[in-house]
């Protein structure tokens, strides 16, 4: 039985380009219709993604910035519905990205512990048992009695991370390693995160750290402009990915050298 299945999944964003000052001047001179103020264009964020993950799969997702890695996680999480194709998920999902989602800024830290936990799929009974442990791990003490709008960014991240990692997921979606607050909190946060990554049934892990992909994953995909360019064992996929980057850098270097020679001859 699959835990996550994507069948021919594509996602397209409609981007509206608003009128510029140049457009207005051209309109005044009769060169352009100013009232046609919005020009639509489409960006294909994901293109025909096919993927199936079963219990025990730990998928590393690599690629350049803008390749669609984080977007893929958001599609699996249900944040973005696909433009076409089917997404099926069997199991409780925890997302360690978009940590602010589900928090009520006017509510206290204690109230948000319960609200966020329930949103992540925990029952009220589970949250009653977990609340004290979450509070202790966060280290926020009496600040939990205050509305979270009074929190610093570091305090807010502590609370969000503590709640999100307290719920035992079946499927964990992780976008890079979370930098959870100050240095005193970071060490125990990293240990907690590694323990969680080891316990979950299915992991989807986005990272630019190739060693982390090798350490935590038994499968990998390389995304390039919304498409899967390679899929397989982490070592094999990483080798192809890094090879492509090196080839691109060499081509750029060759072009730069040519331009330098031309400039020197002029």
Per run of 10 residues, the mean pLDDT along the chain (length 266 residues) is 95 74 60 54 92 97 95 94 96 84 90 92 92 96 97 90 90 78 79 89 95 94 97 97 82 53 42
Query: What number of other Cβ atoms are within 10 A of residue 257's Cβ?
Result: 10
Compute the distance between CA of residue 248 and CA of residue 263 in angstroms, rounded to an integer: 23
The secondary structure of 73-90 as a DSSP string is HHHHHTSS--SEEEEEE-
Domain 56-249, classified CATH 3.40.50.720, yes or no: no
What is the spatial distance between Cα 3 and Cα 53, in angstroms, rounded to a whole number? 6
Record the pTM: 0.79
CA 203 to chain centre: 13
pLDDT for res 153: 85
DSSP H or E segment with residue 216: helix 210-216
Cα dihedral angle (125, 127, 129, 132), rounded to 10 degrees?
-150
d(CA 144, CA 192): 21
In the three-class reduction of DSSP (H, G, I as helix; E, B as strand; rest coil), residue 262 is classed as helix
pLDDT of the residue at 40: 65
3-state secondary structure (DSSP) of residue 63: coil
């Amino acid at each position: 039985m699959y835990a996550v299945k994507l069948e021919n999944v594509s996602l397209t964003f409609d981007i509206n380009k608003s009128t510029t000052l140049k457009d207005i001047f051209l309109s005044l001179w009769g060169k352009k219709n100013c009232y046609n103020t919005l020009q639509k264009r489409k960006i294909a964020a994901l293109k025909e993604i096919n993927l199936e993950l079963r219990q025990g799969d730990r998928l590393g997702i690599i690629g350049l910035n803008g390749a669609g890695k984080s977007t893929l996680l958001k599609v699996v999480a249900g944040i973005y519905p696909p433009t076409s194709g089917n997404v099926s998920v069997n199991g409780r999902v925890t997302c360690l990205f978009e940590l602010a989602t589900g928090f009520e800024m006017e509510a206290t830290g204690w109230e948000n512990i319960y609200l966020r936990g329930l949103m992540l799929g925990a029952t009220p009974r589970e949250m009653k048992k977990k609340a004290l442990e979450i509070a202790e791990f966060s280290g926020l003490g009496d600040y939990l009695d205050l509305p979270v709008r009074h929190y610093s960014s570091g305090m807010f991240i502590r609370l969000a991370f503590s709640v999100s990692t307290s719920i035992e997921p079946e499927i964990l979606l992780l976008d890079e390693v979370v930098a959870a607050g100050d240095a005193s909190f970071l060490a125990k946060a990293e240990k907690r995160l590694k323990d969680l990554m080891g316990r979950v049934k299915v992991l989807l892990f986005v990272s630019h750290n190739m060693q982390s992909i090798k350490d935590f994953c038994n499968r990998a995909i390389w995304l390039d402009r919304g498409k899967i360019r390679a899929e397989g064992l982490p070592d094999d996929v990483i080798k192809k990915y890094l090879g492509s980057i090196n080839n691109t850098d060499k081509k750029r270097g060759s072009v730069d050298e040519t331009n330098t020679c031309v400039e020197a001859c002029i």
